Amino acid sequence: MRNEFFAYNRRLGILLPVMLKEWPMYSPEEQEEILLEWERVRGTIPDRIGEIDGEIERLQEELAQEDDFEQSCMINNEISERASEINDLWIWYRTNPEKTKRGTMP
């Protein structure tokens, strides 16, 4: 897989597509290459969501023991950020592009 098609997203912890041009402008071979790699990446998303869910559970346990209000707010913010990551991962998981003929819309 050529790195020009994907870049690592630190926030989500997965590779994401980097589209330098409109999807129909990629050759059928490039589309096939991108789709194959995307299916591989997409298959890792449920495991990544599970990892983040575990982090949320740990943070919730930490929050339950926290007495300091400011620290509680920081933990809540961290929980919110992790939940946002899960939401974004589910959006990416549902992204399912199809191969097109050059010059046609998907």
Nearest CA to 18 among 7, 8, 10? 7
Q: Does a structural domain hold residue 100?
A: no
Q: Which domain holds residue 47?
A: 3-93
Q: Does a structural domain hold residue 101?
A: no
Q: Does a structural domain hold residue 20?
A: yes
Domain count, the chain: 1
Instruction: Indicate if the pLDDT at residue 2 is higher than 70.
Output: no
Q: Give 17-55 as a DSSP string.
A: E--SS-GGGS-HHHHHHHHHHHHHHHHHHHHHHHHHHHH
Of the pLDDT bands very low, low, confident and very high (cuts 50, 70, 90), residue 101 is low
Tens digit of pLDDT for each residue in 37-81? 999 999 999 999 999 999 999 999 999 999 999 999 999 999 999
Q: Does a structural domain hold residue 14?
A: yes
